[in-house]
Structure 1
């Protein structure tokens, strides 16, 4: 009887947390929609409705969300859901093209995802219902996070009329102006490497879906991994964009290149460095371009994909490495970010991962120390870029190695805490989520 009472209390607490989360999401979406309507741009609810019945904003996100949701379903339900989603998508796309609209996809998977949620809630019971709803919830959270992020980007432009790109430019002297270097390499490479990098940059959600589905492949048995990629993605999406308004930056191609549309300091990127001005100022910019450079969230998410791909087979580890390298090359080579942005994104990712992961058994290092170090590292980096940018440009041989060494130490400490050799099995590496990255390579 006592065990039954405890079980009922746990179920009641879980149900309460679920409804509180749903209420918080609804309130957030409502507040952002009101803000967007007052400011005169599309809000998250408007965008979500468009994805259902009009032109979807993204052809990828809803398919990624459906793919994640399918991990909790039977094979029969998966095949049926994918078939219906594809048929609906083709129908919506054909109708849109016939009336002169854009050729894009995305309606079908969102409609099917909603139908699955209703079916699981109303028709299924027990563990089947719980597992299915959990996967569907993660799918919806990915879509909602994207809508919130899009709205937040517009808000950053509205609330921060000036940008700090001159400070970031000076600070990046400590890292040898890698955006200008990579920009010239990409430009010299021609259209084929450029197209490949664009594809890698845009389709990062697809890479994340592949890794996430692999991690969640066994949840039908009722066993969910202690930590998986989607959790990291969602937490990064909550924390990272908040920094945008603290350190508003638009990127080299906008502030110092051709994409500035009259607001750029000059047309320098990537063929020439701007004149060094040791008295940087905040520069007025338009009210449309997102201030979304510091930190580089693409770098943070790509690094998260890389880290979580370590627990997969060889092809997945290779793909995770490819996506990380390609994303870094794209963010720098297209003038979207400065080098310091990438460092900030990497530090943010490792800090969030340290907070969410469990350390390797038998390790004495505490993840709390890593979280504290990473948080301090990020704060100090932001403060240096804002208040010591002139010193960083004057003394690159001091600040550059300091940044690189601090990043290397943080990375090695992260590896030592969450990745390590299994006790009693030399040569076997065990990841902190309990998986063996070498187990499925053959």
Structure 2
């Protein structure tokens, strides 16, 4: 049975007849051109920074999507499929067929040249063509709806390009990492990265392969949920809030913490992938002995410091939240993706347990800021956001300054951390999902 998300649903109740047009929001030309200008500035700045640190820049990466070997096969297709939601069925089929044909041509050329197999050129080229056709040839609601979903798809691709160079910047700007602090403090939660990593080793290749695929193919599930939420946009009915907004904001806010709290993860700092820079090659078989003191540790200049907070956890939790208003298969899919992502983040050695707690707190805070904009900034919204910020900041501060006490007295600290996250989840649920007085009567 669906949770009654009366005040924070990703899709609103059906509008009365003739009200569809009221849900279509129009953006002023100044806002549109301002957004385009801001995107260009960010891309150019990222490209200039990439030249300075000798990394792959966003414009170079984007050019490869058009005429070279795409760095990612999933992202161009994810953005393209998101854009297709806002066009008619006939145009959708034609665009999809064109993207597949172009991709096959590029695959054939790369095969002849002996270059790596990948895809992604077709959707990028066709997405650009769709934007030009919609802007120059279509009109009315068809044009505005198409351009809006095309903009979402393009923004997803461009945000990924900018995110890639930002990860390179974190490695360049933070020569030392704080894994020693997180590993010691994580003992308050029972060192879950070691526990789950060891369990996956015992489970064998099949469970490991499943969670690994889920971990790396998160955009696939996101597009499925977003497509369900935006399924009615071609009629002019837009949800007041949807998953893509949360994904983009999390991708904008979360990485800022990577330079404030640089962490590389247990498989690198304490495992076999440290390339000689690890403190000890013990993950996931043996938890290191408790040190007398902790300090930051040097690491290489190419590994991203992208552990604290765990954005995979934040994105998977937001996907789970947005799937709650869907049909049964979507709700089960959201739960499956969340569980497998949590297992993968720990079992693959990519994150510590505290990374997941911080990621969950960040998700609930951002989601509370975006949900149900018609509700306004009432006391309940401010309360849940304040609690989320407090939990997030508390985890980082305790990890940095109380790591040894957290490991020495794990029970009280562990109960406090998990209790704070549980309280945040309860307040979040009561704010956005539980019935308020009169809601049940109004629905009936």
Scaled by the length of structure 1, what TM-score is found? 0.92
The answer on whether the counterparts of 1:232 and 1:304 sit within 8 Å (CA) in structure 2 is yes
- Residue 330 of structure 1, CA deviation: 0.4
Structure 2 unaligned regions, length at least 5: 1-24
The answer on whether the counterparts of 1:359 and 1:366 sit within 8 Å (CA) in structure 2 is no
The answer on whether the counterparts of 1:360 and 1:420 sit within 8 Å (CA) in structure 2 is no
In 2: Cα distance, 1:208 partner to 1:341 partner: 21
Aligned to 1:80: 94
Written as runs of structure 1 = structure 2, the 5 A alignment for 1:224-263 is: 224-263=238-277
In 2: Cα distance, 1:424 partner to 1:382 partner: 40
Change in CA separation of 1:399 and 1:359 when aligned onto 2, cut-off 3 Å = farther
Please, which of 106, 130, 136 is the counterpart of residue 122 of structure 1?
A: 136
**Over residues 88-114 of structure 1, what are the superposed CA-to-partner deviations in whole Å (9 max), with x where a residue is unaligned?**
111111111111011111110111100
Written as runs of structure 1 = structure 2, the 5 A alignment for 1:10-21 is: 14-21=28-35
The answer on whether the counterparts of 2:240 and 2:373 sit within 8 Å (CA) in structure 1 is no
Aligned to 1:4: none
The answer on whether the counterparts of 2:73 and 2:119 sit within 8 Å (CA) in structure 1 is yes
**Over residues 266-303 of structure 1, what are the superposed CA-to-partner deviations in whole Å (9 max), with x where a residue is unaligned?**
10000001121131111000011110000000000000
In 2: Cα distance, 1:411 partner to 1:148 partner: 31
**Is 1:31 paired with 2:73?**
no
Change in CA separation of 1:422 and 1:398 when aligned onto 2, cut-off 3 Å = closer
**Is 1:177 paired with 2:179?**
no
- Residue 413 of structure 1, CA deviation: 0.6
In 2: Cα distance, 1:24 partner to 1:359 partner: 24
**Is 1:58 paired with 2:72?**
yes
Aligned to 1:275: 289
**Is 1:105 paired with 2:116?**
no
Aligned to 1:70: 84
Written as runs of structure 1 = structure 2, the 5 A alignment for 1:303-314 is: 303-314=317-328
**Over residues 178-215 of structure 1, what are the superposed CA-to-partner deviations in whole Å (9 max), with x where a residue is unaligned?**
00000001000111111111110011000000000100
- Residue 364 of structure 1, CA deviation: 7.8
Aligned to 1:7: none
**Over residues 367-423 of structure 1, what are the superposed CA-to-partner deviations in whole Å (9 max), with x where a residue is unaligned?**
111111111221121111111111111111111000111111100110111112476
Q: Is the partner of 2:434 in helix, strand or coil?
A: strand
**Over residues 303-343 of structure 1, what are the superposed CA-to-partner deviations in whole Å (9 max), with x where a residue is unaligned?**
01000000110000000000000000001001000000000
Aligned to 2:13: none
Written as runs of structure 1 = structure 2, the 5 A alignment for 1:360-375 is: 366-375=380-389
Q: Size of the alignment, in residue pairs?
A: 420
- Residue 360 of structure 1, CA deviation: 10
**Is 1:193 paired with 2:193?**
no
The answer on whether the counterparts of 2:167 and 2:305 sit within 8 Å (CA) in structure 1 is yes
In 2: Cα distance, 1:424 partner to 1:351 partner: 26
- Residue 21 of structure 1, CA deviation: 1.1
In 2: Cα distance, 1:235 partner to 1:212 partner: 15
In 1: Cα distance, 2:402 partner to 2:305 partner: 21
- Residue 358 of structure 1, CA deviation: 2.0
In 1: Cα distance, 2:200 partner to 2:35 partner: 44
Scaled by the length of structure 2, what TM-score is found? 0.92
**Is 1:149 paired with 2:177?**
no
Aligned to 2:229: 215
The answer on whether the counterparts of 1:421 and 1:427 sit within 8 Å (CA) in structure 2 is no
**Is 1:406 paired with 2:420?**
yes
In 2: Cα distance, 1:15 partner to 1:403 partner: 47
The answer on whether the counterparts of 1:359 and 1:417 sit within 8 Å (CA) in structure 2 is no
Aligned to 1:302: 316
Change in CA separation of 1:201 and 1:352 when aligned onto 2, cut-off 3 Å = same
Aligned to 1:162: 176
In 2: Cα distance, 1:367 partner to 1:358 partner: 10
In 1: Cα distance, 2:427 partner to 2:374 partner: 12
In 2: Cα distance, 1:112 partner to 1:118 partner: 10
Aligned to 2:350: 336
Tell me how large the CA RMSD over aligned residues is: 2.0
In 1: Cα distance, 2:43 partner to 2:88 partner: 32
In 1: Cα distance, 2:100 partner to 2:287 partner: 48
The answer on whether the counterparts of 1:72 and 1:134 sit within 8 Å (CA) in structure 2 is yes
In 1: Cα distance, 2:307 partner to 2:281 partner: 19
